[in-house]
Chains A and B, each alone.
Chain A
Amino acid sequence: GAGVSQSPRYKVTKRGQDVALRCDPISGHVSLYWYRQALGQGPEFLTYFNYEAQQDKSGLPNDRFSAERPEGSISTLTIQRTEQRDSAMYRCASSSGGELFFGEGSRLTVL
């Protein structure tokens, strides 16, 4: 596609529910990143894929967070048993050759 596409754009869920956030990167981009951004702060690294391989997941806050990219294109970030502190903007970015391009983000609100 023309840009990085994320869905849903907005998600409101109740505490304890699972959520799945989707990222469709720019066509041909081999690298895919997930970031989380709290209001007024810069993005915080969560995880990184090179093709389908998850190269780094050191930024995932705990084991309720997981991500996959099974065919080296679309990626899903899953948060299990959501908690209020998980509320944030979740951003996906893709790159090919260094420059990162971000999607619009998925704003998650956990009630």
Chain B
Amino acid sequence: AQKITQTQPGMFVQEKEAVTLDCTYDTSDPSYGLFWYKQPSSGEMIFLIYQGSYDQQNATEGRYSLNFQKARKSANLVISASQLGDSAMYFCAMRENMEYGNKLVFGAGTILRVKS
């Protein structure tokens, strides 16, 4: 079964507008962590933001925020005021069984294109 589902293969957004990238996850573990990474065309993997399952507030990092809806098992990434440099592949990932392991499982990714 898919642990991480990203249903949007590709997205377009107009420069300066906000965009939401969807991510749903599947776990029965009460302790887990959710991550978002950015992969530009140059290929490196850049960490953006983290949300722990016990965190009471949604995580924010600059223009990035995570819309965490635990009951719906969703962890959508919101990018505000999009910039041309935001064009990249975005991956959602989950770490579960945190007491017994430390591996991250990644979704298939969403390609974001910012239009000028």
Chains A and B bind each other: no
